[in-house]
Amino acid sequence: MLYRLLSIVQRQRTSPGWQNWSSSRSSTSATEAHSVTLPAQAQVVICGGGIMGTSVAYHLSKMGWQDIVLLEQGRLAAGSTRFCAGILSTARHSSIEQKMADYSNKLYLQLEQETGIQTGYLRTGSISLAQTQDRLISLKRINSRLNVIGIPSEIISPKKVAELHPLLNVHDLVGAMHVPEDAVVSSPDVALALASAASQNGVQIYDRTSVLHVLIKKGQVTGVETDKGQIECQYFVNCAGQWAYELGLSNEEPVSIPLHACEHFYLLTRPWNTPLQSNTPTVVDADGRIYIRNWQGGILSGGFEKNPKPIFTEGKNQLEIQNLREDWDHFEPLLSSLLRRMPELETLEIMKLVNCPETFTPDMKCIMGESPVVQGYFVLAGMNSAGLSLGGGAGKYLAEWMVYGYPSENVWELDLQRFGALQSSRTFLRHRVMEVMPLMYDLKVPRWDFQTGRQLRTSPLYDRLDAQGARWMEKHGFERAKFFVPPNKDLLPLEQSKTFYKPDWFDIVESEVKCCKEAVCVIDMSSFTKFEITSTGDQALESLQYLFSNDLDVPVGHIVHTGMLNEDGGYENDCSIARLNRRSFFMISPTDQQVHCWAWLKKYMPKDSNLLLEDVTWKYTGRGATLTKLLTPAQSAVAFTKPVVRALNLIGPRAVDLLSELSYAPMTPDHFPTLFCKEMSVGYANGIRVMSMTHTGEPGFMLYIPIEYALHIYNEMMSVGQKYGIRNAGYYALRSLRIEKFFSFWGQDLNALTTPLECGGESRVKLEKGIDFIGRDALLQQKQNGVYKRLAMFILDDHDTDVDFWPWWGEPIYRNGQYAGKTTSSAYSYTLERHVCLGYVHNFSEDSGEEQVVTTDFINRGEYEIDIAGQRFQAKAKLYPITSYFTHKRRKDDVELSDFHGK
């Protein structure tokens, strides 16, 4: 096997031209024997011999796993990997992608030495150009983040750009970012080198073997059916690139992997009169939508056009990728942009226009992780045309995930489980990727919402709210109101509203926040994930006590905030649980937890007991089907008739008066203390579940309403509430209220690698509740040893809201001038009249850079600065919310506050 593999590489190397590439490939395959027999079993089967599959194989074998089979339907490195432009760029927008690209860079650098296979690695550096000030701000943000993770980069002047790359026209530039360690590489050779190294470590590689479908028993991978026979296995890794979606659906129990391919074009030229130096930097002109790298003395240039061409929507076979057409007319805008940037290239001879489909995902982030429905089914695909840059790091993280249970970094934003089945409609994907691909080079600004694939899930109040001026955002397919535009006010058109500064809705949200503080507001919060857990005996309590860190054995009607922790004490979910009666519990989690939390509960809950778990967020029949496995037939009948529940959040001091008027029941703290839950009638509707919490720290109530009553209750509230000054509010107001009170949010501030002790959540952990809940040991140990990072709240002091850049997230935090961590979320506090950021403070040793214990004292003794796009602002760090600022009358003062919490 190894010999064959190396022979492929040898042949490839002897044929230097790009064009000869495919012919050398076919001659190789002709010599191969066809009588290869597959092993009957393996621990891991990886499908896909591109850079992703080989990287996963490489890293798994490095981590000591031996029994690995890699299957490729065509030939190794023959898909997108073969045509990839070969640019390795660490200038990425999210920190996790920067880290993956940085690792890839280091990996590829030494790969040639490790394997003896030439990878064409050349450290050319990259220059990202800015034609506008906004673009420059965007680059400065990236620059700040690159620097703190140790990747050298700098913002340079147009003059310096001209020095670095003499052919560039720099007259229309306002600046640029130079990343000197970025590289170019031949991606098929990297894949071959990784495959070769993996092969040396014992990975068996079979090409021209197609995976037909994955065999699954009881929600667990048991094997793989290929066109050359079956292989039994425990783990399956889907690295099938643009075919991953189809492959996912081919199983009996389909795995939804939302991605879709678009055609992608780049140009190859013959060498320039005086051939370009091989170390000529790669140029990314995002405003011109193009990238340019040197290629064999000439250039390689492609881009991400505004009008992409989605392809393979119906799912096609691999052969089609070989004979995709060039489309010069489609390429014209990019060509014109190229010649504007490098006018001297006019005389350069054309060699080829390459059409190389790239795969995109609904949120422009790659997809990795384990399927929520099939255990042992892992995925790494959907690289959004950054497969080469991310390949090494992504392969490493996925291998860590399989071997150690979770990657060494938080990868929630890349986790397959952030999607649900609802993102797997072909129509949705086709429309969404047409928006995503141009976004590659669009300006990335805070609070940007996708415009396609919208209005998929809407509340029954949607039309009512929309008519009242609601502006919408989307979360997990769910439409949520951001804020409500008053009738007399106009906002900027969408495209012009992109800004790094103060947004045009500032005053609107201010008035909504004010109303929450002084009167009462109603927010439709139906998108939150809501589960009910019921049992015939004490099983519900027992299993929840094991799954959650807080003590849930509370009197009926009480609400408990608690984390759902993993073995290491990290948050898998952060939620509120109400005890409805002795045997049933109601659980409220963030919107995007719908898939992940369900998968987690299913994995850890005892299977054979009379325990019923149901999702009441949405009438989703798939959930019902899963349910029946946990249920006896008589019970499942009940499960299907359960009402879908909507949630209205009534925030503000007058909520008490409004609700008691609507229900003729006293709602004062004596009768209805904070964090309490009971069923009552509201208006004409009976059986409404009312909870005295608001997810904001403000007084008020959450109402959980069967869907058919939603409109009635909303109408009643609005008409009766008039005299209390009721109005609609949106999520931006909620966010501002929440962050100013230091309510952290799972998925942004909290994740699988942060523990309650690191973010002030001690009060939600009952180590001594008498049950050895998941994560308890880790927390005990951490309590003894101290924490290595600590979530703090930063209040920006010298930040002028009107003129300075607004913080977003991911801004570096400096403590006494030393980098100490990054922010995780931010909002403007209308009460404090300051920006508030949440973020983790680390204690990096000045000598070794090693992480040291962070104490309260360490936090309090520091002087802090937040770096927003290169500009530093002084900040005060707080470990607890500033209660003195919030002086309004509170019932059972600050219970919710000290027990801060949010969604």
Partner 1 sequence: MSSTVSYWIFNSARNYIATFQGGRRLYSSVTNRNQLKWRLFSPALPTIKSSSPCGNFALWKAYRHTSTEEEDFHLQLSPEQVNEVLRAGELSHKVLDFNSGVLHSVLRFESNQLAANSPVEDRQGVASCLQTNGLMFGIFDGHGGHACAQAVSERLFYYMAVSLGADGRRMENMKPLLPILQWLKHPGDSIYKDVTSVHLDHLRVYCQELLDLHMEMGLSIEEALMYSFQRLDSDISLEIQAPLEDEATRNLSLQVAFSGATACMAYVNGVHLHVANAGDCRAILGVQEENGTWSCLPLTCDHNAWNEAELSRLKREHPESEDRTLIIDDRLLGVLIPCRAFGDVQLKWSKELQHSVLERGFDTEALNIYQFTPPHYHTPPYLTAKPEVTYHRLRPQDKFLVLASDGLWDMLSNEDVVRLMVGHLSKVGHHKPDLDQRPANLGLMQSLLLQRKASGLHAADQNAATHLIRHAIGSNEYGEMEPERLAAMLTLPEDVARMYRDDITVTVVFFNSDSIDTYYKGG
How many residues can be counted in the chain?
903
Of the listed pieces 51-59, 274-282, 337-345, 402-410, which binds partner 1 according to CB under 8 A?
337-345
Q: For residues 352 and 331, is the Cβ–Cβ distance under 8 A?
A: no
Closest approach of Cβ 315 to partner 1, in Å? 13
Q: How far is CA 455 from CA 53, 405, 428, 472, 681, in A?
A: 36, 36, 11, 9, 31
Distance between CA atoms of 601 and 533, rounded to whole angstroms?
Answer: 10
The piece of 96-104, 284-292, 327-335, 718-726 that touches partner 1 (CB under 8 A) is 327-335
* Residue 2 engages partner 1 in binding (rule: CB under 8 A): no
We find the least distance from the C-beta atom of residue 306 to partner 1, in angstroms, to be 13
Sign of CA dihedral 32, 37, 43, 45: positive
Interacting stretch for partner 1, rule CB under 8 A, among 134-142, 189-197, 345-353, 604-612? 345-353
Binding segment (CB under 8 A) for partner 1, from list 233-241, 326-334, 619-627, 640-648: 326-334
Shortest Cβ distance from residue 436 to partner 1 (Å)?
A: 21
Stretch that binds partner 1, among 23-31, 187-195, 197-205, 340-348 (CB under 8 A): 340-348
Whole-number minimum distance, CB 356 to partner 1, in Å? 16
Residue of 14, 26, 347, 488 that binds partner 1 (CB under 8 A): 347
Q: Report the residue number, 331 or 840, with the smaller CB distance to partner 1.
A: 331
- C-alpha 611: how far from chain center: 32
Strands (E), 548-706: 559-565, 571-581, 584-589, 611-615, 645-651, 677-682, 685-691, 700-706
| Residues 74 to 133 in contact with partner 1, rule: CB under 8 A | none
Give the CA dihedral 361, 463, 516, 899, nearest 10 degrees: -50
Candidates 109, 249, 324, 339: give the one binding partner 1 (CB under 8 A): 339
By beta-carbon proximity to partner 1, the closer residue of 345 and 491 is 345
Comparing CB distances to partner 1, the nearer of 331 and 585 is: 331
The span of 274-282, 332-340, 573-581, 611-619 binding partner 1 (CB under 8 A) equals 332-340
User: What is the residue-wise DSSP string for 100-136?
Assistant: HHHHHHHHHHHHHHHH------B---EEEEESSHHHH
Chosen residue from 5, 185, 194, 348 binding partner 1 by CB under 8 A: 348
CB of 360 to partner 1, least distance (A): 22
Is 881 in contact with 741 (CB distance < 8 Å)?
yes
When the beta carbons of 85 and 578 are compared against partner 1, the nearer one is 85
**Closest approach of Cβ 347 to partner 1, in Å?**
5
Query: Measured from the CB atom, is 341 or 579 closer to partner 1?
Result: 341
Q: Work out which of 57, 161, 335, 734 binds partner 1, going by CB under 8 A.
A: 335
Interatomic CA distance for residues 494 and 448, integer angstroms: 10
Q: How far apart are CA 447 and CA 497, in angstroms?
A: 10
Burial class (CB in 10 A: 0-12, 13-18, 19+), 695: buried
- Give the interface size with partner 1 as a residue count (CB under 8 A): 20
| Contact pick of 34, 171, 323, 329 for partner 1 (by CB under 8 A) | 329
Angstrom distance (rounded) from CA 434 to CA 49 = 27
Smallest gap from residue 325 Cβ to partner 1 (A) = 7
User: In the complex, what is the shortest distance from the CB of residue 317 to partner 1, in angstroms, rounded to a whole number?
Assistant: 12
Which residues are CB-contacts of 714 (< 8 A; sequence separation ≥ 6)?
Answer: 461, 464, 522, 524, 648
Residue with tokens 């208006």: 683
Q: What minimum distance in Å lies between the beta carbon of 353 and partner 1?
A: 8
The residue among 311, 312, 306, 282 whose CA lies nearest residue 294 is 282
Least distance in angstroms from the C-beta of 676 to partner 1 = 52
CB of 283 to partner 1, least distance (A): 16
Min CB(312)–partner 1 separation in Å: 14
Given the complex with partner 1, which of 194 and 342 has the nearer CB atom? 342
Q: Which stretch binds partner 1 (CB under 8 A): 67-75, 143-151, 335-343, 846-854?
A: 335-343
Q: Which is nearer to partner 1, 264 or 482 (CB)?
A: 264
Q: CB of 263: closest distance to partner 1 in angstroms?
A: 12
Q: Which is nearer to partner 1, 165 or 799 (CB)?
A: 165
d(CA 93, CA 78): 29
Which residues in 244-283 contact partner 1 (CB under 8 A)? 267, 269
Give how far Cα 623 sits from Cα of 377, 540, 617, Å. 19, 19, 11
CB closer to partner 1 out of 309 and 502: 309
Restricting to residues 596-615, which ones interact with partner 1 according to CB under 8 A?
A: none
Query: Which of these ranges, 93-101, 343-351, 593-601, 678-686, lies near partner 1 under the rule CB under 8 A?
Result: 343-351
Of 349, 495, 670, 802, the residue at the interface with partner 1 (CB under 8 A) is 349
Cα 184 to Cα 105: distance, rounded to the nearest angstrom: 9
Please report, in angstroms and rounded to a whole number, the separation of the first and last CA atoms in the chain: 52
Calpha distance 742→900 (Å, rounded): 7
Least distance in Å: CB of 269 to partner 1? 7
Which residue in this structure is represented by tokens 């673009």? 135
Choosing from 336, 536, 668, 763, the residue that interacts with partner 1 (CB under 8 A) is 336
User: Which lies closer to partner 1 via its Cβ, residue 354 or residue 508?
Assistant: 354
Quote the least distance from Cβ 342 to partner 1, whole Å: 9
Q: Is 345 among the residues that bind partner 1 (CB under 8 A)?
A: yes
* Among the residue ranges 189-197, 328-336, 472-480, 752-760, the one whose residues contact partner 1 (CB under 8 A): 328-336
Of 301 and 539, nearer to partner 1 (C-beta) is 301
Instruction: Tell whether residue 326 is a contact of partner 1 (CB under 8 A).
Output: yes
Considering only the stretches 64-72, 256-264, 339-347, 839-847, report the one whose residues sit in contact with partner 1 under the rule CB under 8 A. 339-347
Residue 238, helix vs strand vs coil? strand
Whether residue 521 contacts residue 699, with contact meaning beta carbons closer than 8 Å, is answered with: no
Q: Which residue bears the tokens 């200038």?
A: 91
Of 320, 332, 507, 762, the one binding partner 1 (CB under 8 A) is: 332
Distance CA 866, CA 823 (A): 8
Q: How far is Cα 45 from Cα 210, in angstroms, rounded to an integer? A: 12
Distance CA 560, CA 675 (A): 7
Least distance in Å: CB of 261 to partner 1? 19
Residue 476: CB atoms within 10 Å: 22
Which H or E run includes 216?
Answer: strand 211-217
Strand arrangement of the beta sheet that strand 229-232 belongs to: 211-217, 220-226, 229-232
Quick one: which of 9, 338, 398, 827 contacts partner 1 (CB under 8 A)?
338
DSSP 607: S
Q: Tell me how far, at minimum, the Cβ of 163 lies from partner 1, in Å.
A: 24
Binding residue for partner 1, selected from 253, 327, 850, 893, defined by CB under 8 A: 327
325 binds partner 1 (CB under 8 A): yes
- Please choose, from the candidates 100, 682, 685, the residue with its C-alpha nearest in 3D space to the C-alpha of residue 391: 100
Q: Which of 491, 365, 498, 385 is nearest to 443 (CA)?
A: 498
CB 745 within 8 A of CB 902: yes
Select from 533, 613, 901 the least CA-distant residue to 741: 901
* Beta carbons of 814 and 867 less than 8 angstroms apart: yes
Q: How far is the CB of 514 from partner 1 (least distance, A)?
A: 44
Residue with tokens 């057409």: 325
346 contributes a contact to partner 1 by CB under 8 A: yes
Residues near partner 1 (CB under 8 A): 267, 269, 325-332, 335-336, 338-339, 345-350
